[in-house]
Amino acid sequence: MKNLLSILEDLHPDVDFETCNTLIDDGIIDSFDIVLARKGLVNGFDSSSEKLSADVDQSGEYNVSDAVLIQKFVLGQIKEFPVAEKTTDTAAMEK
């Protein structure tokens, strides 16, 4: 069974998926962004702006939840990204 990246590479042989970051470059969230999101989980991002853009729930960090939200958005299961509730570290505030 082929993974999503292999399928996309077969469908779009002219696209260099190693440098593709459509989430940042074109403002359109599509299947290429799913690939970028998954690659970001495994290998990290090349820049802090990529990581910030991938943090679609605005939690302050990029994680699996963001990748799942990007996939759900592309598949049409959600129409907008929910904003994560930010936690406050009260112990740090007391110092």
Burial class (CB in 10 A: 0-12, 13-18, 19+), 69: buried
Per residue in 49-66, pLDDT (tens digit) is 778 888 888 888 899 999
Average pLDDT, the chain: 76
| pLDDT at 45 > cutoff 60 | yes
pLDDT of residue 67: 93
Contact 53, 13 (CB under 8 A): no
Q: Which three-class secondary structure state does DSSP give residue 25?
A: helix
Query: Would you state the pLDDT for residue 63?
Result: 93
User: Residue 21: its pLDDT value, please?
Assistant: 45
